[in-house]
Amino acid sequence: MKLTNVTNVESFFEAVNKCQGDVYLTTQEGDRLNLKSQLTKFLTLSTVFQSSLIKEMDLELSCPEDVSVMLSFSMGAAA
C-alpha cells in the first residue's frame, strides 16, 4: 500500500496502532521497519519523519483487514 502527502504524523501512528497486524514501512534503501515496534517508532520519528510532509511511503500490512484502517486514515488526512 502506498500513502502520499502524509502531513499528520501523530494521526498516522494512531492509525498504525489501530491495526491488528504488523505494519511495515519499506525505506528507499529496501529496509523493512515494523512501525508497531516502539523502538522502531522512536527511531522512525527521529529520522524518517523529520519533515512535516512525507511525500510518499510504501507500507506492507500483515493483516488484510488493516487496509481499511489505513484507507480511513488516508481519506481523513486528505480532508
Q: What is the pTM of this model?
A: 0.79
In this prediction, residue 23 has a pLDDT band, given cuts at 50, 70 and 90, of: very high
Distance between CA atoms of 39 and 45, rounded to whole angstroms? 10
**Element housing 69 (H / E):** helix 66-78
Q: Can you list the domains of the chain with their CATH numbers?
A: 2-78 (3.30.1340)
Query: Residue 78's closest CA among 3, 15, 28, 2?
Result: 3
pLDDT tens column, 26-76: 887 888 989 999 888 877 776 666 666 677 889 999 999 999 999 999 888
69, 18 Cβ separation under 8 angstroms: yes
C-alpha cell, 35: 512501525
Sort strands 23-26 and 2-6 into parallel, antiparallel or unpaired. Answer: unpaired
